[in-house]
Every structure is written in C-alpha cells, then in structure tokens.
C-alpha cells in the first residue's frame, strides 16, 4: 500500500492548491485508491483535517466508518464525521467549529435529494462554499455527493428512451460549481439520454457525465482534469443552433442540433469557461 501510494504520488499534479473532486461513484476503496488518495493529498496529506458528510446516506454510520478507516490508514491528522440528520441539528455551532480547522470535506453517496434537503442554505454549506472559493478547503463528492455540485441537479430519471423532458427530474443543487450539470455512474447506468435531456432544458449549462471510479478534478479555476478508470463525457450546448424543447410536450422526443461532445479519459484536461480541451 505504502509503495503504491508513493508511485501514485509521483503521478499526481503538483499540490499547489485545494481542489474540488467530482467523483462518478464506486471509486476504488480497496486497491490503488487513486481518487481517494488524491483527495487525501489535496486536503493536506498527513496534515489533513478531514470532515466526512454522510447525509446523503440512510446508513450514515456505516458509510462514514468505511471512509474514516480509509483516510485513517492513509494517515490523516484528524477525521470528523458530520452526521447531521435534520436541518435543526445542522445549525448546531459545533459543526462551524469543526469546519474552521477542516482542510478537506468528503460527501458520500446516497440520495442527492436527501443531501440537499439537509444542507441547502445552511450555515454548514455556506461555510464550506466560502472556504472552497478562497482555496482553503478541498471538497469531494461521490455519486449523490457529486450530483449536488451544480446549481441545477439531476434528482433522478430513467434510461432506455429517446431524450425527452420526462426522462429526467431536475432539482436545485448546492451550486458549488454553478455552471455544470453532473450525472454520475454515467456510462455504467446508460445515462447519456437523460443528461442530453437535462441540457436541453438548461442550455446555459455544461453537462458532465462521470463514470464510476472516475473523477473530474477542479483546481480552483475553470479547468478540470480527469482521473481514474473511466470517462468524463462533456455535453456542451454552447453552439446549439436549434432545439424543439420549448414547443413540445414532456414525453415527446427532444431535438438538439450541433451539440459538442467530448469523451475524456485519465490525463485529459478541459477548460469549462473557454469550452475547449487543454492541449494534449
């Protein structure tokens, strides 16, 4: 493990700043742990003061324990679990105190609607957003924890249909990265049609479809790099010339002309603001 982590350390970009990690779910927790190790390093490594937020999960104790053990094995200095189970509890000043010294927050999987219901517009999430914005905290979210990153969030949906509005349920996310709509377990659960449907409804956003054990790593500006075993699919509607979206019923098929799509793999980097690949 120690040896593997040393070799990973050499592959990582320089640790110049904090980061936001948007993880497609099912990240490796046993072998290389590449994504989790990147989070740990970006949070400060052996100086990391990590908070685990298990609020998306209905089994917050079990899931927290699993991540606590992993970050403990990696050598984090301190690990807190913010097991907030109702909004009132979320206003307890004890959490603010935890967050003051915290260098890394990890949001687990579960149900993104539950996570937003507990955290949206609370002092906790405002504190996190502020520290992330000024580069004093690394934030990671996996699966449901990734889904909440945008202002517009995919709350649920289906597959096996032509793109249409009823294929996707939209809700309001935590707006950590306001210009993106995230879909996770992306190719693993065949979610292209639902992400395309979401983007037809939010054509001022960029869709990011993130596969399992794969991560979009944002480093404080609008550029993200891809880490992991699968792909990050960018669905960019900036150049769209026509859609029937305003004119049809919710179950009718959506047209979208001139989408730009990028399928990115480990090591690729993309500039969200300027809508292009950072040269290979």
Catalytic residues: 143, 161, 185
Q: Minimum distance between the CB of residue 255 and a second copy, rounded to whole angstroms?
A: 4
CA 152 to chain centre: 13
- Whichever of 89 and 188 has its CB closer to a second copy, that residue is 188
Distance CA 159, CA 59 (A): 27
Candidates 122, 179, 188, 222: give the one binding a second copy (CB under 8 A): 188
Q: Does 162 contact a second copy by CB under 8 A?
A: yes
Q: Minimum distance between the CB of residue 34 and a second copy, rounded to whole angstroms?
A: 14
Reduce the DSSP state of residue 238 to 3 states and report it.
Answer: coil
User: Length of the chain, please?
Assistant: 280
Biggest alpha carbon distance in the chain? 58
Q: Does 112 contact a second copy by CB under 8 A?
A: no
- Whichever of 80 and 245 has its CB closer to a second copy, that residue is 245
Q: What are the residues whose beta carbons fall under 8 Å from the beta carbon of 111, sequence distance 6 or more?
A: 56, 57, 58, 144
Reduce the DSSP state of residue 53 to 3 states and report it.
Answer: strand
Site residues (CB under 8 A) for a second copy, limited to 122-161? 159-161
Q: Contacts with a second copy: how many residues (CB under 8 A)? A: 38
- Whichever of 83 and 169 has its CB closer to a second copy, that residue is 169
Site residues (CB under 8 A) for a second copy, limited to 194-253? 196, 211, 214, 229-231, 241-242, 244, 252-253
Q: Minimum distance between the CB of residue 6 and a second copy, rounded to whole angstroms?
A: 24
Candidates 192, 220, 222, 223: give the one binding a second copy (CB under 8 A): 192
Residue 47 to residues 12, 42, 43, 215, 255: CA-CA distances in angstroms? 18, 10, 8, 23, 50
Residue 115 to residues 110, 120, 138, 249: CA-CA distances in angstroms? 8, 8, 19, 30
Q: Minimum distance between the CB of residue 79 and a second copy, rounded to whole angstroms?
A: 32
Measure the CA dihedral 201/272/54/34, to 10°. Answer: 130
Q: Minimum distance between the CB of residue 98 and a second copy, rounded to whole angstroms?
A: 37
Residue numbers of the site for a second copy (CB under 8 A)? 159-163, 187-190, 192-193, 196, 211, 214, 229-231, 241-242, 244, 252-266, 268, 277, 280
């Amino acid at each position: 493990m120690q040896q593997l982590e040393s070799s990973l350390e050499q592959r990582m970009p320089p640790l110049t700043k904090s980061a936001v990690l948007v993880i497609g779910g099912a990240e490796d927790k046993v072998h290389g742990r590449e994504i989790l190790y990147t989070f740990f390093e970006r949070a400060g490594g052996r100086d990391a003061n990590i908070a685990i937020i298990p609020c998306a999960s209905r089994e917050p104790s079990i899931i927290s324990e699993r991540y606590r053990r992993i970050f403990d094995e990696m050598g984090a200095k301190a690990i807190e679990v913010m097991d907030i189970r109702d909004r009132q509890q979320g206003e307890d000043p004890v959490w603010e105190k935890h967050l003051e010294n915290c260098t890394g927050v990890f949001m687990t999987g579960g149900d993104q609607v539950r996570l937003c219901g507990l955290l949206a517009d609370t002092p906790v999430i405002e504190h996190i957003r502020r520290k992330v914005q000024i580069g004093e905290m690394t934030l990671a979210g996996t699966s449901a924890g990734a889904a909440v990153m945008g202002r517009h969030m995919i709350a649920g949906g289906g597959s096996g249909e032509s793109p249409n509005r009823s294929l996707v349920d939209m809700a309001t996310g935590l707006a950590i990265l306001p210009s993106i709509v995230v879909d996770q377990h992306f190719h693993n659960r065949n979610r292209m049609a639902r992400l395309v449907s979401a983007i037809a409804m939010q054509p001022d956003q960029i869709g990011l479809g993130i596969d399992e054990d794969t991560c979009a790593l944002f480093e404080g500006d609008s550029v993200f790099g891809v880490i992991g075993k699968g792909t990050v699919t960018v669905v960019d509607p900036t150049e769209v010339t026509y859609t029937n979206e305003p004119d049809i019923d919710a179950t009718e098929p959506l047209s979208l002309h001139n989408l730009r799509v990028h399928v990115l793999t480990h090591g690729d980097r993309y500039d969200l603001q300027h809508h292009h690949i950072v040269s290979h």
